Structure 1
Amino acid sequence: MMMTWADFWALIGTLGGKADEAGCRRLAAELSNRPVLDIRGFAERLAEALYRLDQEKFGALPVADLALRDGEPFPQSADSFLYSRCAVVAAGQSVWESVFFDLDQFASYTASTCDGESLLYVPDQAYELATGKEWDRSTRYCFETFSNRDGWPHLQA
């Protein structure tokens, strides 16, 4: 059976709101003590949570604390947008849910100091800790930027 959203968010809660390296190592260690099926389930839920945030309304936001030389807003790159989405997920269920209704909530996670990249590696680290093997994984949802075609209507052919 797939990991429940409640279990996923409870595990995310161990991060204390941030996807820093120490918190992500701690989460990977905790996850590695569970059955491999739970590690896969966590990976699936993480991919889906990130996929659902893959929307133009979030990706078009500028980086909160940077500007171009001419003072214009500094756009998010595809990678920085992915890391911002990770930071939103790491902040927990209430933040993740709130950004869909309040764009300003998401905007604060675009700051250059708000990097959630480490969260991406938690399932792989947990799997390797649990099995001693590298994980060549795929998930139902692709979390890469622009994967959610419904979230980027102008990109649809």
Structure 2
Amino acid sequence: MTWADFWALIATLDGEATLESCQRLAEVLSRRSVPDIIGFAERHAEALYRLDQEKFGTLPVVDLTARDGRPFPQSSDVFLYTRCAVVAAGQAVWESVFFDVDKFAPYTSSECDGEWLLYVPDKAYELATGREWNRLTRYSFESYSNKDGWPDLPA
């Protein structure tokens, strides 16, 4: 799947990874070939992997503070869901955050949660084949897996 195809499919989310929009995307994707579903999963994992960088992951959650008033850090799960929200917002947003970290910050809000986007490839595969998919992708989308993005993390 080309990046253009991937972003065209992401555009069906209308900027947000809600349960409804992700179900709709999974249904659209399930009508494509299994190689396209796999290709979507690969592009999605790579898009998340590229966002897996210290400059994004160390940003605090914008609308939460700790009891003592300090900024509230993103957990690994929150960071993953935030990256999904950035991808769901579309190609222009995804590309812009690499040039301006401040454009990533609003997606750390507790109001922004892109978790549903994680399940789209698996749901599409299941709809298309009637089977569950134990997938592996070239890139890991898990937080802190991009060693180049987190150069100070121990190996």
User: What is the TM-score of this pair, normalised by structure 1?
Assistant: 0.98
Give, as a single letter, the amino acid of the residue that structure 2 aligns with 1:25: Q
Q: Which residue of 2 aligns with 1:19?
A: 17
Q: Which residue of 1 aligns with 2:65?
A: 67
Task: Determine helix, strand or coil for the equivalent of 1:66.
Answer: strand
Whole-angstrom CA distance in 2 between matches of 1:124 and 1:108: 28
Whole-angstrom CA distance in 2 between matches of 1:105 and 1:20: 21
User: What is the TM-score of this pair, normalised by structure 2?
Assistant: 0.99
1:46 offset after TM fit, Å? 0.1
Q: Which residue of 1 aligns with 2:39?
A: 41
Q: Which residue of 2 aligns with 1:51?
A: 49
Q: Which residue of 2 aligns with 1:149?
A: 147
Unaligned runs of 5+ in 2: none
Task: Determine helix, strand or coil for the equivalent of 2:64.
Answer: strand
1:156 offset after TM fit, Å? 4.4
Whole-angstrom CA distance in 2 between matches of 1:102 and 1:146: 20
Report if aligned partners of 1:128, 1:134 keep a CA contact under 8 Å in 2. Answer: yes
Q: Deviation per CA, 1:78-110: give whole Å up to 9, x if none.
A: 000000000000000000000001111100000
Give the alignment's Cα RMSD to 1 decimal: 0.6
Q: Which residue of 2 aligns with 1:133?
A: 131
Give, as a single letter, the amino acid of the residue that structure 1 aligns with 2:48: L
Report if aligned partners of 1:62, 1:110 keep a CA contact under 8 Å in 2. Answer: yes
Give, as a single letter, the amino acid of the residue that structure 2 aligns with 1:69: R
Task: Determine helix, strand or coil for the equivalent of 1:155.
Answer: coil
1:118 offset after TM fit, Å? 0.2
Matched residue count: 155
Runs (4 or more) in structure 1 with deviation over 3 Å come to none
Unaligned runs of 5+ in 1: none
Of 93, 96, 107, the residue aligned with 1:95 is: 93
Of 110, 117, 128, the residue aligned with 1:119 is: 117
Identity among equivalent pairs (%): 74
Give, as a single letter, the amino acid of the residue that structure 2 aligns with 1:8: F
